[in-house]
Chains A and B, each alone.
Chain A
Amino acid sequence: MASAILRFAVRSGVWASAFTAPLAAQAADPDALVIVTGQQAAMPIPTCMEGPQNLTANSDVADQLFLRLAELPPDLVTTDERRFVPVLAKSWTRRDSLTLAFDLDPRARWHNGRPVTAADVVFTFERARNPKVAPKLAGLLHHIVSVAAEGARRVVIRFDRVYAEQFYDATFNVAPMPAGLVPADAAPCPVVPPVGDGPFRWVRSVPGQFVELAADSGFFLGAPKIRRLFFRTAADPEARVNLLLSGEADATDNIPSPPLSNVERVEEAPGLRVVPLASPVLGYLLFNQRDRGDSTKPHPILSDPSVRRAIALALDRRRMVQSVFGRYGDVPFGPASRLLWIQRGAPAAAGQDTAQARRLLAKAGWVARNEDGILTRDGHPLALSLSYPLTSEARKQMALQVQEQLRGMGIRIDLQRLEGPVWAERRAHGNFDIDFSSATQDPTPSGLTQSWSCSGGTNVAHYCDLGVDSLLNRAITSPPGPAAGRLWQEVLRRIEADQPAVPMYSIAYVYAVSRRFRKAPIRPESSWLRVREWSR
């Protein structure tokens, strides 16, 4: 019997090594780049990446297939059109304060050989500005009133008002696609092979596994050195780390972290290096201003600004960020991620001050304590729920720390770890006390109006300060320059003083890149935009 088991084990071992032999023998292609990501691109087509298709996986692939008119300058300032980098548009001129004219590069060709024309650009913007087809894009482009072709290569874009980010709006949000690639009013888009004008062309998609692209040898800005480009899918973070460490993948845009040990393992791997870059991610504790059961009534505890301030001061945010993100995270001042240029020059966030927090709570009437050591007022305990989605490891670890630190202050936090859609639905309906939110911000600071102005579309906590509204309005319309920068700083200071939320973390994405690639520029606003310039 025992010998039979042994025989079986030996036999399976022999088989296993027979399988592995060809795997090891197979030569890796040094000019292929395998990027591992969490999701697979299903619809990498401009104007189609809406709703469920609004995924980094889609835009990462679309960035390779479709060229924008112009790209952001290296320092990501969104307000100065003279410093944008020409790509599909060879040049542009400003006709007046409401009109921009773009001249397309005459060498630009779609992958089917047809030249890129102004009609293609007009078609794309028609789709992009139609709220029935592309609601999110249409919202972002709502200051554009017309897009017209003048001849085959000139596109004229008109705006309905004067503001600093006209050029950014016209170039960053959508890349032109060939007219008729998808029907003008199709929504959701049908699945079609994406024909683009970018450095790489579409080869195939293997469901659940990877998307393969190939270099376009005739690309007018120079053929890429990377000949084959793969976006490999592994939803599980540990599987992604394993693929990197085993050498089966060359790069990833965000080494799964926490735990920090994943980053350390990549740092120690001989074939890999890490590249930290500012990310658009902002994590914050959002205070509900209204009662969670009845949104017409103020929140019984959190509508008091001194309680909100006290909670912010009671937390040792730096230590939390350090424990979860190490040196790749910090505590932001105001609700702005590292990616936003307005973060530069902002003051440091307030540190922990438990004495001041206690004073503020006492002033608000929270003095007595019940048998569990929880503060009470008129017999009601200072108890709040904190909800967060179960998929976020970072928020889970921080929420546990928040609970433990506030327990020491006499504040009881009931953690509500919720399945994604349940969490989102409760958040959208204002059914929470404190929500541990995370936002992926666009590079433009004007996105702040969505969450922090009285009538903002995503202002689920019903925060409203007319002073903030008017400051936001002035900052958005002011011409580029130091005055605009000061106005934006003022916005951040005012929000920070009101404390509608506690900004918890802004982070760097820690990229992993194979050392095989000596030149490997990565862009914070869209990671793999410059793979066309990578080389060994």
Chain B
Amino acid sequence: MTRWLAVRALQALLTLALVAVLLFFLMRLAPGDPLSRLGAEQQISQREIEHLRAQYGLDQPVSRQFVTWVTSVARGDLGNSIEYGRPVTSLIAERLPATLLLGGTVLLINFSLGLWLGAAQAVRRGSPLDRWLTGASLAGYALPSFWLGLVLAWLMAVRWRLLPAAGMQNPLLETDAGLWTRGLDVAAHLVLPAATLVIVSIASTMRYQRRAMLEVLPLPYIVAARAKGVPEALVLRHHAWRNALFPVLTLAGLWLPILATGSVFVESVFAWPGLGSLAAGAVGTRDYPLLMGTALLVSALIVVGGLMADIAYGLLDPRIRWT
């Protein structure tokens, strides 16, 4: 196990390095750069843009820029964002808490509620409840997240004024307000974006769970356990769940990076100050240093997500040996 972990860690580092190199060059090959857009909407001449290019070191050959970037990353410095004029690391650090809060809330509700409902559907297969939940969850799934988000915002914030329409905190709240007041303020802002994301994403957890349970329930050992008079709840919890968890674990691994990058659409319609909108903005402005910084974070999480799923497989089924 230890050796396997070491090998995996090495692989992960190599993957990260590969992604970084690939992205660095892909980014510069892609049409458009951080400054050419300035000439289109403002009255800036090509000569002025050349001056700016020199300021940001973009006039250097790509290979030289790469060396500069690699050496500064080796020192733990991701450089300064072109768009914000500030260090990439502090930009990411500022936005990460908002994203983790939203993503964590959604992940928690999605998996606790989704696994429960999916299992309930499988146990009562074909019942009106099963059909109703299938329809409702898929209807939610088919909705584009921005659409649902805007409808909820309109109803809850504009029509009924129950919840805030956007943002993560009320700016008018004094900075010396108590922790409880500020916590409630953030929680109120969290309700709509979290609800939107849960509604559009829960179908996938439910579907995988339902399908996996359906495959497990008719297996001989479950039937045998039932026949032995083991209480139904216990059968489900101890026997069926264990085997049904595989796809869900993979799913959780795939979710981990989404947890950190957030949903661009939902962050956008609710003006949630997370990483997703920061990264999407960085693509739109070709903010190379910021893009590289967020991409590195995402790839690290993808690698970690896969690793955690593999470890969980091993814990669930001791026959799986990692070599």
Contacts and interface: CB of A to CB of B under 8 A. Distances in A.
Complex A–B touching at CB under 8 A: yes
Interface of A: 1-2, 8, 16-17, 19-20, 22-24, 26, 28-29, 32, 34, 42-43, 50-54, 131-132, 135-136, 139, 187-191, 204, 206-210, 212, 228, 230, 232-236, 238-239, 242-243, 245-248, 389, 391, 419-428, 437-442, 447, 450-451, 456-458, 460
B83 A458 contact: no
Contacts of A190: 85
B158 A246 contact: yes
Instruction: Pick from A206, A389, A442 the residue with the most CB of B within 10 Å.
Output: A206
Interface string B147-173: 000100110011001111111111111
Interface of B: 31-49, 51-52, 54-56, 80, 82-86, 91, 94-95, 98, 113, 120, 124, 129, 150, 153-154, 157-158, 161-173, 175, 181, 184-185, 187-188, 191, 268-271, 273-274, 277-278, 281, 284-287
Counting from the closest, the 10 A-B pairs by CB-CB distance are: A457-B45, A421-B32, A208-B273, A424-B37, A234-B271, A135-B48, A135-B51, A424-B40, A242-B165, A207-B94
Nearest to A451: B43
B91 A207 contact: yes
A424 B32 contact: yes
A234 B157 CA distance: 15
Interface-central residue, B31, B150, B268, B285, by most chain A CB under 10 Å: B31
Contact of A209 (B120, B167, B184): B167
B277 A208 contact: yes
B37 A421 contact: yes
A325 B209 CA distance: 50
A438 B41 contact: yes
17 contacts: A16-B162, A23-B164, A23-B184, A42-B85, A53-B85, A139-B45, A209-B171, A239-B268, A239-B270, A245-B158, A419-B284, A421-B32, A421-B34, A421-B286, A422-B31, A428-B39, A457-B43
B43 to A, nearest CB: 5
Given A29-B172, A421-B31, A187 B167 contact: no
Contacts of B46: 428, 457-458
Contact of B157 (A242, A422, A424): A242
Contacts of B170: 23, 26, 248
A428 to B, nearest CB: 5
Contacts of A204: 175
A208 B164 contact: no
Contacts of A22: 181, 184-185, 188
Given A16-B191, A206-B171, A209-B171, A424 B269 contact: no
A188 B33 contact: no
Nearest to A34: B171
A439 B268 CA distance: 26
A267 to B, nearest CB: 15
A131 B52 CA distance: 9
Contacts of B55: 51, 132, 187-188
